[in-house]
A = this chain, B = another copy of it.
Amino acid sequence: MTEATVETRVRFAETDGMGVTYHGNYLPWFEMARVALLDGMGIPYRDLEREGFLLPVLETGLTYHQPSRFDDRLRITVRLVEKPKARLRLAYRVERDGELLVEGFTVHAFVNRDFKAVRPPDRVEEAMRRAFGSHSA
């Protein structure tokens, strides 16, 4: 379990005057996939946040191959690309009917509410090890 997929339908609110999805609006979709990935790993982000562990984005990059449009039904897939150490690196693909529209990545680190780097709770480290174990198995 180092991968998750979510589906979304492009909202009119997410389009811009070019008639396509505004480029910044892919980041909340990446977030949806990331939230589903953490759910699948048994460490829902909602719980982490309540315990005071935040996982902000430190770096991101996106490549736009094709635009998406209002009402398009999209699949967003996220993948943990390497065994997480101090940082977590995730890769994303946005597809419509099997066609790749956008690729991207995010890099994260655990911080506390004052944005100081912290070690995540043990169960998070364990969940990540487990995820990678099952992946390589």
Question: B64 touching A61 by the CB < 8 A rule?
Answer: no
Interface of chain A: mostly helix, strand, loop or mixed? mixed
Contact of A27 among B24, B31, B71 (CB under 8 A): B24
Question: A49 touching B70 by the CB < 8 A rule?
Answer: yes
* 8 A Cβ contacts from A1-16 to B: 9, 11-16
Q: Which residues of B contact A11 (CB under 8 A)?
A: 28, 31-32, 35
Question: B59 touching A44 by the CB < 8 A rule?
Answer: no
A131 to chain B, nearest CB (A): 20
Counting contact residues on chain A (CB < 8 A from B), the size range is 35 or more
A44-76 interface bits toward B, Cβ cutoff 8 Å, 1 = contact, 0 = none: 111001000010111111111001011100000
Q: Which residues of B contact A17 (CB under 8 A)?
A: 12, 15-17, 19-20, 49, 69-70
Question: B13 touching A28 by the CB < 8 A rule?
Answer: yes
For the complex formed by this chain, how many copies does it contain in all?
4
A62 to chain B, nearest CB (A): 5
- Complex: how many Å from CA A61 to CA B63? 9
Question: A56 touching B12 by the CB < 8 A rule?
Answer: no
Interface, chain A (partner B; CB < 8 A): 9, 11-20, 22-25, 27-28, 31-32, 35, 44-46, 49, 54, 56-64, 67, 69-71, 113, 115
